[in-house]
Amino acid sequence: MRLKVCLKLVFTLIVGLAYGVGFGQQDNSQIRTILITYVSNSGNTEKLAKSVYKGATENNSVHVVLKSVSETTNEDVILADAIILGSPVYNANPAPELLTFIQGWPFEKTPLQDKIGAVFVTAGGISSGEELVQNALQNAMLIFGMVVVGGGEWTTPFGASAINEELKGYPERDNLFSKKGEQLGRRVRDAVLRWNAK
């Protein structure tokens, strides 16, 4: 009986080493990728993107790519298991560069089908179009067959958002927005791992 167990262990070790997944190593083919891509002209959306990145990378269970839209390719989109889009609010619409980017996504043979999608936005003031932009980006993702998730709690059902308007009496405003971004990153990470679990 002991001989059988020893032989099994030796066989498992040999196979594992042959495939590069021996003891203490991770099977890179199983690592999921989250793409966070955004438009940021003033730096506000980039700041929120970094909070989303922080939440997604917390426990190193996924590979996270953080890039501006101008640096992001269709290959990045196709290789990702989840895509998180960030945009400033432009007259209650997403940034034109982001819309152009989405319009260039491949549609034939539905390569984005069943990828996780999420969004975050920044706006100049309260009720200046944040949810409209979030919904517009989510609707675009749904057209491509993606599975859309919102933020981490009921106060962020459409994803994370931040405003730049000065709010008297709210000194912790920036911390609140950072936490919302981190929660979104965690939610997407957890959704990707659950969705792709075997």
pLDDT in tens, 117-138: 999 999 988 888 999 999 999 9
CATH topology of domain 31-195: Rossmann fold (3.40.50)
Q: State how far the Cα of 10 lies from the Cα of 73, in Å rounded to an integer.
A: 44
29 contacts: CB under 8 Å, gap ≥ 6: none
> What's the pLDDT score for residue 164?
82
Tokens in use for 29?
């083919």
164 within 8 A of 125, measured Cβ to Cβ = yes
The per-residue pLDDT for range 70-83, each reduced to its tens digit, is: 999 999 999 999 99
d(CA 113, CA 141): 9
Q: Is 70 helix (H, G, I), strand (E, B) or coil?
A: helix
Number of Cβ within a 10 Å radius of residue 156: 19
The pLDDT of residue 171 = 59
Predicted confidence (pLDDT) at residue 17 exceeds the cutoff of 70: no
The answer to which of 30-39, 78-87, 158-167, 176-185 has the lowest mean pLDDT is: 158-167
Instruction: Please report, for the chain, the start and end positions of each structural domain, with discontinuous segments joined by +.
Output: 1-28, 31-195
Q: What's the whole-model pTM score?
A: 0.82
